[in-house]
Structure 1
């Protein structure tokens, strides 16, 4: 499948997800590192924060997990930050045990239900994963995430992150 067809498929999956969560007035941003110029500044801010948190959350490198975990925690708050921080040892131990790496790429992102202090964002990301079970070539895994963000001290932080189908 070509890159263009892959983008259409990823975009279609995001649209299906949006319908499932009953969202209306979603703005879909396609592409890798581009933010749609038609988005408001507030939407661009929340999209950038969600993109960064999704990439941080999906990045794994068994050789040095501490800075990766710190990157997730830097963009997190509330219960999500507490729960993630409490799993630091387990995350590190499992990454080392399985010799895991994960290199993600956000392929599509939707911003919706945004007001001055809260926003919901859906992210479609693909990640090349290697571990003791995949071999050196690794496997591409497809992730769909729903992030709930809140504005604290002028920054958008992830308050909740869930995998969605």
Structure 2
């Protein structure tokens, strides 16, 4: 081989080695970059439980809350009104029963008389009366007492039907049908008289008393 051929061969080997070294260095550089990427620690993330608590915002009540409050308020008022009405009706019903019972009892006292026990009869009549009717009966009782004794009159009243015409907590009007058996010196055999009675009663001192008695 000539000297020029040997130099050319040596030059080719040097260039080949340089190319190989460049490839190796390039690969080594990439590996280093990859290693550098792998060694960087990942960023720490904060778990939701470890996050700082968020304070709730205090604002105005929402529409649903206001609507619910309004509905509850209406229900409370409605229950109160219904309760009051029920109580009022209960009182009226109680007054009706009491007034009807008092009217029936008093009508039988008023239409029953015994000439041998006139004073006790009058006492019972006045005890169940009040107002205008009591005043009227008191004024006429002296004359009536003498008339009953002279004629030996007796009477027994029995209510056969009664109904409340109107009623409030302290006043009532009751209609009654009364059968009255009457006898005296002129009528020794008892006679039945049927009469219609309209009685107004007023509640005073916890008792129902007759303030007016009419025979329509």
Please tell me whether residue 57 in structure 1 is matched to residue 124 in structure 2: no
In 1, the alpha carbon distance for the partners of 2:135 and 2:162 equals 25
Q: How many residues align?
A: 125
TM-score normalised by structure 1 residue count: 0.72
- 1:2-81 to 2 correspondence within 5 Å? 40-81=93-134
Give 2:135's aligned residue. 82
In 2, the alpha carbon distance for the partners of 1:157 and 1:103 equals 21
Choose which of 145, 155, 160 in structure 1 pairs with 2:197: 145
Divergent runs of 4+, >6 A? none
Instruction: Return the offset for 1:40.
Output: 3.1
Deviations 1:115-151 (A, max 9, x none): 111110011110110012212x210111111001111
In terms of fraction of residues, the more helix-rich structure is 2
Give 1:31's aligned residue. none
Gapped runs of 5+ residues in structure 2?
Answer: 1-91
Q: Which has the higher contact order (CA 8 A, sep 6+)?
A: 1
Report the secondary structure of 2:116's partner residue.
Answer: coil
Larger Rg computed on CA atoms: 2
Cα RMSD between the aligned structures? Answer: 1.3
